[in-house]
Amino acid sequence: MKKNTSIKWEITFFIVVLLVCVIGILSFFILKNQQENLTNEVKERGFTIARNLANNIADFLLTEDELSIAKILSDAMTNKGVKYAFIVDDKNIIKAHNNLELVGNLYEKPVILEELEKSPYKINIIKQKSEKIINFEVPAIAKGKAKLGIVNVGISYNLIEDAIKKAYVRIIIISLVAVLAGIIGAFILGITITKPIGVLAEGAKIIGKGNLGHVIKVKSKNEIGQLASVFNMMTHDLKKAQDVMIKQQKMEKELEVAREIQLSLIPKDIVKIPGYEINAFYEAAKEVGGDYYDILKLSDEKFCFIVGDVSGKGVPAALIMTMARSILRSEASPDLESKEILKRLNSIIYKDLKEGMFITIFFGILDIVRNVIDIASAGHNDTLICKVNTGIILPVNPKGFPIGADPGPRFDKIIANEKISIEKGDKIIAFTDGITEAMNSKNQEYGQPKLLDVIKQNIKQDSKSILDAIITDVNKFVAGYEQSDDISLLVAERK
């Protein structure tokens, strides 16, 4: 019960404080605005009176018609708040005044408290006999040219101050009524919302302890009831978001592990092959795939090139490629043809591949004494042999199934190999489909024809220049569009 009373008084206190602050701020701006409006109104009145005086009196000043001047000044004094009206010449001698005794005397300018305007006419707040007056100065010009003097009109500042005081009184009365009404309303509001707020608070404690399945039950159909419904929806969405976040964290961890595995497969240092220059490029896509390339020394005379691509993404693809790499490194032999090594890889790894998962591989064994490369392909992209002397680019792709597509008999029967002589200056280019299937923003693929065009244009260049030209052309084609697959590229040249 004490808790409910405390909440009621807290609500009352804060509403009253807020009300007082709002009323205070509004009152400040209202009074400021009213003061500005009153000042502008008085300024306009003063200008009007001073200008009329200047216009009406100018010709009489020229003819020195003192009676007419005195009458005009007397008429000006009938305006509310006007304290004086007189004319001075250039030497500040009073030429006409509503008080005739002052005519001919030197006009001593009073202390200026505030300048309201300087141009085209002067408006100053001055102090005269302990009273604040707004003084207006307007030149009296006869026939539009001759300046005959300056008209001074003084209007009491009390016009503004009296109106402001009345506004203060009205605002104080309104404020007291509003605060009293606010106290009563706040007290009633506190009683009305105390109970459902307590239910909300208790529910929030339960949810705060981690029970996102808790439902807050509030019978009110007002804003508190709506708040409870929103709170329940929020906790439901939060629970879903938490589940999604946990899955996402697991996925990110899986991708991180897969990326580390995949990067560990890529050779840090390319094996040096006597008489040949080797250049390679690898770039991972956002989603980790299963691209892999390797160069192994089988003997002093034979080296093998491997470029592979596992179907699928993530850790499974990275692990399968790790297994394939280990098997190839253990089974590769200088005494075996390339197709025999792929047969062994398929027979060993097939049982570990899930349905629908497979590996495409280019496998080439280079004999640097005979300068012949023995190529086998397990469903991989064409290997391009660039013949520098003739300018021909020879696509080589012996028959074969992807690794894991068949348990053995059919795979072993179909897979074939092909041996190609490598002349001086010839290049061997092996790649994954990350190049030919690279897409731009229009969902257009780069394709093998564009790849062949780039190679033809640079066929007489060295292997590094050809590799750079291919990568540059692919990047130009995709124009920053997000990479959908890993890119692996291997270029070997007989020097």
User: Residue 400 is part of a domain; what is its CATH number?
Assistant: 3.60.40.10
User: Using 50, 70 and 90 to split pLDDT, how confident is the model at 178?
Assistant: confident
Query: 145 and 283 share a domain?
Result: no
298 in a domain, yes or no? yes
185 in a domain, yes or no? no
Instruction: Provide mean pLDDT across the span 142-153.
Output: 80
Least confident window among 244-253, 270-279, 402-411, 460-469: 244-253
Distance between CA atoms of residues 107 and 122, nearest Å: 16
Query: 362 and 475 share a domain?
Result: yes
157 in a domain, yes or no? yes
Residue 15 pLDDT greater than 70, yes or no:
yes
List all residues 6 or more positions away from 77 whose beta carbon is below 8 Å from its beta carbon.
84, 85, 98
302 three-class SS: strand
Note the pLDDT of residue 2: 45
* Rg value, the chain, Cα: 49
Note the pLDDT of residue 30: 81
Query: 356 and 488 share a domain?
Result: yes
Give percent of the chain with pLDDT exceeding 90: 37
Instruction: Provide mean pLDDT across the span 423-429.
Output: 96
Query: 284 and 405 share a domain?
Result: yes
180 in a domain, yes or no? no
Domain count, the chain: 2
Note the pLDDT of residue 72: 85
Question: Alpha carbon of 83 to those of 88, 166, 190: distances in Å?
Answer: 16, 22, 57
Query: 274 and 391 share a domain?
Result: yes
250 in a domain, yes or no? no
Distance between CA atoms of residues 262 and 314, nearest Å: 10
124 in a domain, yes or no? yes
Residue 467 pLDDT greater than 80, yes or no:
yes
Residue 319 pLDDT greater than 90, yes or no:
no
Query: 348 and 485 share a domain?
Result: yes
Highest mean pLDDT among 34-38, 161-165, 269-273, 354-358: 269-273
Q: What is the mean pLDDT of the chain?
A: 84
Note the pLDDT of residue 251: 66
Query: 141 and 290 share a domain?
Result: no
> Which of 162, 189, 217 corresponds to the end of one domain?
162
Residue 262 pLDDT greater than 70, yes or no:
no
Note the pLDDT of residue 458: 95
Note the pLDDT of residue 334: 95
User: Using 50, 70 and 90 to split pLDDT, how confident is the model at 477?
Assistant: very high
204 in a domain, yes or no? no
Please tell me the pTM assigned to this model: 0.54
Contact 331, 344 (CB under 8 A): yes
The residue assigned the tokens 């098997």 is 327
The encoded tokens of residue 134 equal: 């707004």
Least confident window among 167-176, 256-265, 323-332: 256-265
Query: 483 and 350 share a domain?
Result: yes
Query: 270 and 158 share a domain?
Result: no
Note the pLDDT of residue 104: 86
> Which of 130, 162, 194 corresponds to the end of one domain?
162
458 in a domain, yes or no? yes
Note the pLDDT of residue 188: 74
Q: What are the strands, taking DSSP E only, across 230-358? A: 276-283, 290-297, 302-310
The CATH number assigned to the domain holding 16 equals 3.30.450.20
Instruction: Provide mean pLDDT across the span 254-266.
Output: 68
Instruction: Provide mean pLDDT across the span 157-170.
Output: 83
**Higher pLDDT among residues 405 and 119, named by residue:** 405
Note the pLDDT of residue 1: 42
Highest mean pLDDT among 54-63, 264-273, 315-324, 461-470: 461-470
Instruction: Provide mean pLDDT across the span 407-431.
Output: 95
Q: Cα-flanking dihedrals φ and ψ of residue 308, to 5°?
A: -135, 160
Instruction: Provide mean pLDDT across the span 133-147.
Output: 81
Instruction: Provide mean pLDDT across the span 128-151.
Output: 83
User: Using 50, 70 and 90 to split pLDDT, how confident is the model at 328?
Assistant: very high
Distance between CA atoms of residues 394 and 150, nearest Å: 106
* Measured distance between the N- and C-terminal CA atoms of the chain, rounded to whole angstroms: 95
Q: Crossing angle for the helix pair 2-63 and 158-208, nearest 10 degrees? A: 150
Least confident window among 30-34, 78-82, 270-274, 359-363: 30-34
Note the pLDDT of residue 165: 84
User: Using 50, 70 and 90 to split pLDDT, how confident is the model at 257?
Assistant: low
**Which of 276, 339, 290 has its CA nearest to residue 488?**
290
Which residues face 418 on adjacent strands?
A: 375
Instruction: Provide mean pLDDT across the span 73-80.
Output: 86
User: Using 50, 70 and 90 to split pLDDT, how confident is the model at 226?
Assistant: low
Least confident window among 22-36, 413-427, 460-474: 22-36
Instruction: Provide mean pLDDT across the span 178-197.
Output: 72
Contact 295, 303 (CB under 8 A): yes
Domain span at residue 86 reads 2-162
> Which of 162, 178, 200 corresponds to the end of one domain?
162
